[in-house]
Chains A and B, each alone.
Chain A
Amino acid sequence: NAGVMQNPRHLVRRRGQEARLRCSPMKGHSHVYWYRQLPEEGLKFMVYLQKENIIDESGMPKERFSAEFPKEGPSILRIQQVVRGDSAAYFCASSPWGGTEAFFGQGTRLTVV
């Protein structure tokens, strides 16, 4: 049973470009969480999704950031018009249902140059 898969592992974007981060949950998991982590800092919650639904996006910046988890395919975190402050590690985690153990992917390290 494969774990949570995130790709790409490393992503370099120029200021103003778009970044798309993908997260394939573990088999049988229908809940996905996205977190951002700056160097030497804690995990900051961004968004919590179930298949085809955004459950909680209270941690998402109002502009430029969006997330989806379609019926088929991976969850996508999209950052439009990236700025240097978006440089961070982005982690997703999945769980079979809410309130249970969540498992993390390896993360995507985004660097904006």
Chain B
Amino acid sequence: QKEVEQNSGPLSVPEGAIASLNCTYSDRVSQSFFWYRQYSGKSPELIMSIYSNGDKEDGRFTAQLNKASQYVSLLIRDSQPSDSATYLCAVNGGNAGNMLTFGGGTRLMVKP
């Protein structure tokens, strides 16, 4: 059984700061990693995917993957109030096949 763990938060950061969101997973052979953003009352929206060790940047977002330590993180630079949402880490592949497993999410609050 795959497990994906996230701190539920809330994580509060001031506007313009860097928000750092972390996620750990238990299945060492997991292969695909995703970050979703979910606004209250809305459906999850894919914002980043990462498949290999290292960093992947897309605009203000950077995903970081460390398979040896089994963690994946999401950095949001120049945080805006509109970034306030719940961020979900998802893991796929590995011993449980292609089932997409989600962490519980971290609630981010960006204060103006």
Contacts and interface: CB of A to CB of B under 8 A. Distances in A.
Interface string A33-44: 101000001110
Contacts, number: 62
Nearest to A106: B43
B101 interface: yes
A95 B92 CA distance: 12
- Best-buried of B45, B88, B92, B105 by chain A (most CB within 10 Å): B92
B104 A93 contact: no
Interface residues of B, number: 24
A43 B102 contact: yes
B17 interface: no
B31 interface: yes
A45 B99 contact: yes
Nearest to B49: A101
Interface residues of A, number: 25
A69 interface: no
A33 B98 CA distance: 10
Given A99-B31, A104-B45, A93 B100 contact: yes
Interface of B: 31-32, 34, 36, 42-46, 49, 88, 90, 92-93, 96-105
